[in-house]
Chains A and B, each alone.
Chain A
Amino acid sequence: MRRLIGLALGLGAAGAAAFWLLTRPADLPGDTLARLQTHTGDATNGEAVFWAAGCASCHAAPGLDMASPTGDRLRLGGGHAFVTPFGTFRAPNVSMHPTEGIGAWTLEQFAQAVMAGVSPQGAHYYPAFPYTTYARARPEDIADLWAFWQGLPAVDTPSQPHDIGFPFSVRRGLGLWKLLNFDPAFVAPPSDDPQLARGRYLVEALGHCAECHTPRDITGGLDRSQWLAGAANPAGDGRIPALPPQGWSAGNIAAYLQSGFTPEFDVVGGSMADVIANMSRIAPEDRDAIAGYLLAFRSSPNR
């Protein structure tokens, strides 16, 4: 009996040790760090990255609409709530406020949060924050983004806690989630066509379209075999459509991203309205590039 208890304790300890090792928050790779540190941040490009990456959709105050002025979208006090099967996530204050926001962070800490989903204190972030997408970004773009961030206002709204049930409340467990689901490889094959390559980068590394438009498996990871094939709404009722929508031309997609008008002149709604608010602020060539990338999926069923 004592041997059995000893064995159980031993196995338990081995399991705990394995869990601890497997779930360790990872640092950024050395070459990523080197590229961050040798790059001179360009705030102008950083603003383009900001809109393309959709930071304001989650981190600006709730209740903005398409008519809200740009200045309101740059006040990143957080507060958006996302009701999901895992619990309610609330976007934190990521403004330049030194204590309520992230104003005291270093570039390396910012990049580790955005590209690896790890906080300066070494804790995993929940993947409601799409670092699984941003991991594909060029480190230079992240450095530029941080340069742009320096000019954003400090907002003193305190971050609200998430409301997550056990076992998902154990952040260390996210290490296992990352082992299963954190794949920084691009999904579409690389392209020699500059527009398609740019579209792939905008969609897969910044725009995080797939976070809603790709179905998730039971662990909450994206099913890469059904990339952009449409999915249940991850934060609410209804379905998110497949991309590209049936019958839409490249011009239709680019016009929609600019104006929110569908080809039938229905007008965008739901969380996509916030996406359009961002996409209307990127370069026209970038909207065309996204359209070009999405049309490559036209041959898939039902779209």
Chain B
Amino acid sequence: MYKKAALIATFASLSLSSAAFADEQADPNVNARHAYMSLLAYNLGVLGGMAQAQMPYDSDMAATAAANLHALSQVDTTRMWAEGTDNFSLDGTRALPAIWENPDDFVARFAALTTASEAMAAAAGTDLASLQGAVGALGASCGGCHRAYREPE
């Protein structure tokens, strides 16, 4: 049941974000990246919202969001990061050329999301304190790439 709801939400969010970005630029790799990041933010929003007490803690909802994040972290996104899709080559992306200059570091920082989301998947359904204990590392795993590889705005 939760899996189905998550899938529906996932595809709804995917089509929404695609529509939102379609006007700005047309590169399919960049579109896919934005859609992928939207899915991450969509699920992170559940966990972050509970951690910040913006919404009540719900162990099933939290566990689902964490499982989704962990599943998303294991999607092979290699093709989305095609050569020539940095912010100097294309409009509508903030991906810095440094990604393609340091591919090993980029992949390693991306892999941090797998580790952090695995820890979150183990914690999120337990209780709010466990979720709060894991959310900092999860955010930091996102920030690890954004810090080095994303243009400010």
CA distance A269 to B45 in the complex (A): 17
CA distance A266 to B143 in the complex (A): 9
**Closest chain A residue, CB of each to CB of B43:** A265
A67 touches B41 (CB 8 A): no
A240-B153 in contact given A66-B140, A266-B41 (Cβ < 8 Å): yes
CA distance A276 to B142 in the complex (A): 13
CA distance A281 to B112 in the complex (A): 22
B152 touches A272 (CB 8 A): yes
Q: Give min CB distance, B133 to chain A, whole Å.
A: 13
| B96: A residues at CB distance < 8 A | 237
Question: Residues 257-272 of chain A: 1 if any B CB is under 8 Å from the residue's CB, otherwise 0?
Answer: 0011100111111111
The one of B45, B94, B112, B151 that contacts A264, using a Cβ cutoff of 8 Å: B45
Q: Which residues of chain B in 29-73 are interfacial with respect to chain A, using CB atoms and an 8 Å cutoff?
A: 37, 41-42, 44-45, 48-49, 51-52
B153 touches A238 (CB 8 A): yes
A240-B152 in contact given A66-B140, A67-B137, A67-B144 (Cβ < 8 Å): yes
Is there a chain A Cβ closer than 8 Å to B147's Cβ? yes
| A267: B residues at CB distance < 8 A | 44, 139, 142-143, 146
Question: Residues 118-142 of chain B: 1 if any A CB is under 8 Å from the residue's CB, otherwise 0?
Answer: 0000000000000000011101111
B151 touches A260 (CB 8 A): no
Q: Which residues of chain A in 249-301 are interfacial with respect to chain B, using CB atoms and an 8 Å cutoff?
A: 255, 259-261, 264-274, 276
CA distance A66 to B148 in the complex (A): 11
The one of A260, A270, A272, A274 that contacts B139, using a Cβ cutoff of 8 Å: A260
Interface size class of B (residues with CB under 8 A): 20 to 34
CA distance A271 to B45 in the complex (A): 23
Is there a chain B Cβ closer than 8 Å to A233's Cβ? yes
| A233: B residues at CB distance < 8 A | 152
A259 touches B41 (CB 8 A): no
Is there a chain B Cβ closer than 8 Å to A236's Cβ? yes
A270 touches B135 (CB 8 A): no
Is there a chain A Cβ closer than 8 Å to B77's Cβ? no
A241 touches B153 (CB 8 A): yes
From B44, B52, B87, B140, residue with most partner A Cβ within 10 Å: B140
Question: Residues 53-79 of chain A: 1 if any B CB is under 8 Å from the residue's CB, otherwise 0?
Answer: 000000000000111000000000000
- Classify the interface of chain B: helix, strand, loop or mixed: helix
CA distance A266 to B44 in the complex (A): 9
CA distance A67 to B140 in the complex (A): 5
CA distance A238 to B140 in the complex (A): 22
A269 touches B41 (CB 8 A): no
Q: Give min CB distance, B115 to chain A, whole Å.
A: 10
Q: Give min CB distance, A187 to chain B, whole Å.
A: 23
| A39: B residues at CB distance < 8 A | none
B153 touches A276 (CB 8 A): no
CA distance A95 to B112 in the complex (A): 30
A273 touches B146 (CB 8 A): yes
Question: Residues 221-252 of chain A: 1 if any B CB is under 8 Å from the residue's CB, otherwise 0?
Answer: 00000000000010011111100000000000
B52 touches A259 (CB 8 A): yes
Q: Give min CB distance, B72 to chain A, whole Å.
A: 14
From A66, A255, A260, A269, residue with most partner B Cβ within 10 Å: A269
A265 touches B144 (CB 8 A): no
Q: Which residues of chain A in 133-148 are interfacial with respect to chain B, using CB atoms and an 8 Å cutoff?
A: none
Q: Give min CB distance, B98 to chain A, whole Å.
A: 10
The one of A65, A241, A261 that contacts B147, using a Cβ cutoff of 8 Å: A65
Q: Give min CB distance, A212 to chain B, whole Å.
A: 9
Q: Which residues of chain B in 82-138 are interfacial with respect to chain A, using CB atoms and an 8 Å cutoff?
A: 87, 94, 96, 112, 135-137
Q: Give min CB distance, A298 to chain B, whole Å.
A: 19
| B148: A residues at CB distance < 8 A | 65
B146 touches A238 (CB 8 A): no
6 example contacts (A-B, Cβ-Cβ < 8 A) are as follows A67-B141, A236-B152, A238-B152, A259-B52, A259-B136, A260-B142
